[in-house]
Amino acid sequence: MKNLRLKAARAAKDLSQEALADLCDVSRQTISAIEKGDYNPTINLCIAICKALDKTLDELFWEE
Domains of the chain: total:
1
Is residue 32 in some structural domain? yes
C-beta of residue 47 within 8 angstroms of C-beta of residue 57: yes
Is residue 20 in some structural domain? yes
Is residue 63 in some structural domain? no
Residue 18 is part of a domain; what is its CATH number?
1.10.260.40
Angle at which helices 43-53 and 17-24 cross, to 10°:
120
User: What does pTM read for this prediction?
Assistant: 0.93
Is residue 64 in some structural domain? no
Which residue segment(s) compose the domain that 9 sits in?
4-57
Amino acid at 28: R
Average pLDDT, rounded, for the chain:
96
Is residue 62 in some structural domain? no
pLDDT higher than threshold 90 for residue 7: yes
Among the listed residues 12, 1, 60, 5, the one whose alpha carbon sits nearest the alpha carbon of residue 36: 1
pLDDT per residue over 28-40, tens digit each? 999 999 999 999 9
